[in-house]
Amino acid sequence: MNTFAQAAKPLVNDLFSSLLFAGLLIAGVDPLTATIIAMATGVGHVVLMLGLRRQVAPLQWASLGLVLVFGGASLVVHDPRFLMAKPTVIYLVLAAFMLRKGWMIRYMPPIARGRAPGVVIAYGYVWAGLMALSAGMNLVFAIALPEHWPLYKAIFPITSKLALFGVQYVHMRAASIREIRAEQATLASAA
């Protein structure tokens, strides 16, 4: 379980303000309060990282930018349809970012880096696809089924990402173990 937490830590760190916002909405916090808390936390998190002289990853900057831009727009507009539709744009921006080849390598635990690079790259594209699917579904619920949007928002975005993360973790762990065993067998036969 330690390696699972180790694998999840950088991703959670980079998406912290976005995850906090989603968690607050799921917990029943009103959108205005959730927006203000997520914006303040996102800024504070980046300021802390910079103060500790740690690198702020591109995905973390994107997450903060999205929370600030769309959070600020939500505070100005006060329109529930905007609030419901804005995750569509956020998901599409993240999907576009995730189309960058190899973006996911940064999130691999040290033992998995350099192992099965094609699989890691493929999962980066799978993540982009999941974000695009989330965008499409969010728009459908926001426009055609607004009365069911809170239930959709509380269930699909989080569970789909956790499920994909779990599948990827198990697959990458198995692939890494196979490669390590193959390397050990090669070394043993050469000795």
Q: Residue 181, SS3? A: helix
- Mean pLDDT across the chain: 83
Residues 22-47: tens digit of each pLDDT: 778 777 788 778 888 988 988 998 89
CA atoms of 45 and 118, how far apart (whole Å): 32
Phi, psi of 180 (to 5 degrees): -65, -45
Q: Which residue has the tokens 């959730």?
A: 34
152-164: average pLDDT:
89
Phi, psi of 57 (to 5 degrees): -70, 155
Q: Which residue has the tokens 């960058």?
A: 100
| Six token digits for residue 189 | 């036969």
The candidate with the shortest Cα–Cα distance to 20, out of 38, 3, 2, is 38
Give residues with Cβ within 8 angstroms of 132, minimum separation 6: 91, 92, 95
pLDDT for 149 equals 83
User: Any idea what DSSP says for residue 108?
Assistant: S
